[in-house]
Amino acid sequence: MINIVLFGKPGAGKGTQAEFLKIKYNLIHISTGDLFRNNITEKTTLGILAKSYMDKGNLVPDQVTIDMLEAEVDKNPQAKGFIFDGFPRTESQAKSLDAFLTRKDIKINFMLALEADDNELVKRLLNRGKSSGRIDDQDETKIRNRFKEYNKKTSPLKTYYKNQNKFYSINGIGTIDQITGRLTKLIDSL
Ligand code: AMP
């Protein structure tokens, strides 16, 4: 089994790259952002709760996010592995994920971090906001707040995975193909 945490700020290209990696390595792609957005579309209780955080660019509380993620993993007992995209985003989520996977006798193999600078990311997100209609991508103040949340709560996870020798940084600037190439070359070498 290969279990990958795909890491990076909003706009770094996690979702785009996950679409390629899941096919190449036959993995299940779980994006917590997508799961929340599906819940919002379906107007579930979880969706209504999540929306109040997401629209402001804040993180959704840990426990609901963890419960949702675990339910999604449990729906795929035959999986050859998972790509976790946008999860974990806090140390508490990372610890819960480790505990949950350990109970299943599986583990995270590596964290692949797509790195790009904030100004490039703001440009990408504002562009995405025009085509996707995502409210959190349309306003630079909300985007900058997501970066603030990332710097405060999510960035420390690099150290968490570095301490387990699982952290790898990838240059996230370039064409989609170039970045897929960098990721697959790295994965194949691990
Ligand atoms: P994303 O699609 O990954 O950019 O996520 C969009 C929004 O969903 C984030 O700004 C958060 O409000 C929420 N979200 C997604 N994943 C998580 C997570 N692991 N923990 C908390 N909130 C999350």
Atom of ligand 1 nearest to the CA of 93: 19
Rounded to a whole number of angstroms, the CA Rg of the chain reads 16
Decide: 59 in ligand 1 pocket, CB within 6 A.
Answer: yes
Contact 7 CB / ligand 1 (< 6 Å): no
Distance (angstroms) between ligand 1 centre and the Cα of 178 equals 26
pLDDT at 20: 98
Instruction: Give the C-alpha separation, 24 to 20, whole Å.
Output: 6
> Would you state the pLDDT for residue 163?
98
Predicted local confidence at residue 124, as pLDDT:
96
Give the sheet arrangement for strand 2-7, strand by strand. 28-31, 81-85, 2-7, 110-115, 167-171
pLDDT at 33: 97
The DSSP bridge partners found for residue 3 are: 82
CA neighbor of 14 nearest in space, from 124, 92, 91, 94: 124
For residue 117, what are the CA distances in angstroms to 12, 26, 151, 165, 173?
9, 30, 13, 24, 9
pTM of the model as a whole: 0.97
CATH 3.30.450.40 fits 2-189, yes or no: no
Q: What are phi and psi of 76, to 5 degrees?
A: -125, 60
Ligand 1 centroid – CA 37 distance (Å): 9
Q: How far apart are CA 74 and CA 127, in angstroms?
A: 35
pLDDT score at 118: 96
Confidence at residue 45, expressed as pLDDT on a 0 to 100 scale: 97
> How much is the pLDDT for 47?
97
The rounded Å distance from CA 63 to ligand 1 centre is 13
For the chain (190 residues), the mean pLDDT of every run of 10, in chain order, is 97 98 98 98 98 95 98 97 98 98 97 97 96 93 96 98 98 98 97
Please give the span between the terminal C-alpha atoms of the chain, in angstroms, as a whole number: 13
d(CA 30, CA 69): 8
